[in-house]
Amino acid sequence: MNRTAVLEKLEPICHTTARQIEHSPKTRVLVEPGQVTIRPGNGGHLIPVGEDGVKALTNFVGLPHKVCQELRPDLFGRVTTELLARKERYNVLLENGEVRTFSDFRGIANLPVDRVLSAVEQGLPNCDYHRVDVFGNCSTALEIVGITQEAVRRGDLVWAGAMVKFSPINTIRPMVQSFVLRLACTNGATSRTVLSEFTGGGGEGDNVWQWFRQSVRAAYQSIGGIVERYRAMIEERIPPDQRAGVLEELLRRAGITGKDAEAVRALAIQQSPRNSYEMMNLLTYASSHIIEHPERRQRALNVTASFVDESEHSTVCPLCHARRN
């Protein structure tokens, strides 16, 4: 997937921006025929509030819907202005210049998608975007791979890459994880280790763009440790009579149910997972090729990463848990 395709995929969240409002005596909610606006009070222009934004405003200030219907337009403006004043400061999320929702104040800074992609591509030149997931909280997860390959075993190659998670309006903290892509069946897997999480507020002053470049480069260069762990997992044999139980527990933890779970079980019947590495590949196949919902795919990836991680493996693997007890 090239940059143009990524931008098309991210189109739904590209035009959402955040603005912080410090409530002042001059801040007003103004109601005119067919139009609600908010005047920030700091000399800024009036900001239109759409229909969804008005509903979000009443929910944000705790004004019941029944009461709203009984208020005259001018009184609605005065009441919501007074209730907003109790918040002192808050965020508004704008879509195409119109208020979409209100939220409690936090250090939100805008991260334009094209600038994030530029920083990522500087950290990992000649990269390819394997998958782009978009979530309901205006955030995304980018699976990125480069040209470096390593063999887990003969004929079983993986590409080095990075998983980048961020929101154009910082509803989540930007995060970078290791990511590898198995060439044999294009299964993607993340590392449980979060290589870097940006703790600043975003923007040039916090060097967020340098952070993206350095973190992606570090994730890409971490492939050696991941491959070594995969090789160790090949030696972790699972007795035939316990394979089904291990798989069912992992499916439960990953939230894989219904037809998706049946598809994974069918794969296990065709080729029984003899060790932890092969069991892991069942889950990565599910997250890469079976599960369609982005949030559910991320849950499956997280459980797989815990299963791989040496420090967390025993808490996820029922076989190890039984041995420990």
Give the pLDDT confidence score for residue 69 in this predicted structure: 85
* 157 and 242 assigned to the same domain: no
Number of domains within the chain = 3
| Domain end residue (candidates: 56, 86, 104) | 104
Mean pLDDT of 19-36: 88
**Is residue 131 helix, strand or coil?**
strand
Give the pLDDT confidence score for residue 31 in this predicted structure: 92
Evaluate if residue 198 carries a pLDDT over 80.
no
If we measure between CA atoms, which residue out of 255, 256, 254, 304 comes closest to residue 276? 304
Mean pLDDT of 70-91: 90
Question: Mean pLDDT in the chain?
Answer: 86
CA distances to 214, 254, 261 from 247, in Å: 37, 10, 10
Contact 131, 86 (CB under 8 A): no
Residue 46 falls within a domain, yes or no? Answer: yes
* 156 and 170 assigned to the same domain: yes
Residue 7 falls within a domain, yes or no? Answer: no
Summarised one tens digit per residue, pLDDT across range 172-193 is 888 999 999 988 766 666 544 4
Q: How many Å separate Cα 191 from the centre of its chain? A: 15
Residue 131 falls within a domain, yes or no? Answer: yes
Residue 1 falls within a domain, yes or no? Answer: no
Give the pLDDT confidence score for residue 87 in this predicted structure: 87
Contact 62, 80 (CB under 8 A): no
* 127 and 217 assigned to the same domain: yes
Phi, psi angle pair for 222, to nearest 5°? -90, 5
Determine what percent of the chain is predicted with pLDDT higher than 90: 56
> What stretches of the chain show up as alpha helix (H) in DSSP?
3-9, 11-14, 51-61, 65-70, 73-85, 113-123, 208-220, 223-234, 243-254, 258-270, 276-285, 294-308, 313-316, 318-324
Give the pLDDT confidence score for residue 205 in this predicted structure: 44
Domain span at residue 38?
15-104
Give the pLDDT confidence score for residue 221 in this predicted structure: 92
**Positive or negative: CA dihedral 226, 228, 234, 238:** negative
Give the pLDDT confidence score for residue 195 in this predicted structure: 45
DSSP letter for 71, please.
S
pLDDT tier at 43 (50, 70, 90 boundaries)?
low
Residue 9 falls within a domain, yes or no? Answer: no
Give the pLDDT confidence score for residue 165 in this predicted structure: 93
Determine what percent of the chain is predicted with pLDDT higher than 70: 86
| Domain end residue (candidates: 230, 255, 279) | 230
Residue 3 falls within a domain, yes or no? Answer: no
| Two structure tokens written together for 263 | 């598809």
pLDDT tier at 8 (50, 70, 90 boundaries)?
very high
Contact 141, 298 (CB under 8 A): yes
Render 25-48 in DSSP notation, one character per residue. TT-EEEEETTEEEEE-SSSPPPEE
Listed ranges 6-20, 37-51, 223-237, 300-314; the one with the highest mean pLDDT: 223-237
Residue 89 falls within a domain, yes or no? Answer: yes
* 122 and 95 assigned to the same domain: no
* 171 and 99 assigned to the same domain: no
Residues 6+ apart with CB under 8 A from 42: 22, 24, 26
Give the pLDDT confidence score for residue 321 in this predicted structure: 55
CA–CA gap between residue 146 and residue 124 (Å, rounded): 7
Contact 51, 97 (CB under 8 A): no
* 248 and 145 assigned to the same domain: no
| Domain end residue (candidates: 165, 197, 230) | 230
Tell me which residue has tokens 């990522």: 120
**Positive or negative: CA dihedral 279, 280, 285, 286:** positive
pLDDT tier at 90 (50, 70, 90 boundaries)?
confident
Evaluate if residue 323 carries a pLDDT over 70.
no
* 225 and 239 assigned to the same domain: no
Mean pLDDT of 116-138: 92
Asked which of 81-95, 148-162, 261-275, 309-323 is least confident by mean pLDDT, the reply is: 309-323
Contact 286, 256 (CB under 8 A): yes
* 182 and 85 assigned to the same domain: no
Summarised one tens digit per residue, pLDDT across range 264-320 is 999 999 999 999 999 999 999 999 899 999 999 999 998 998 888 876 666 667 666
Residue 161 falls within a domain, yes or no? Answer: yes
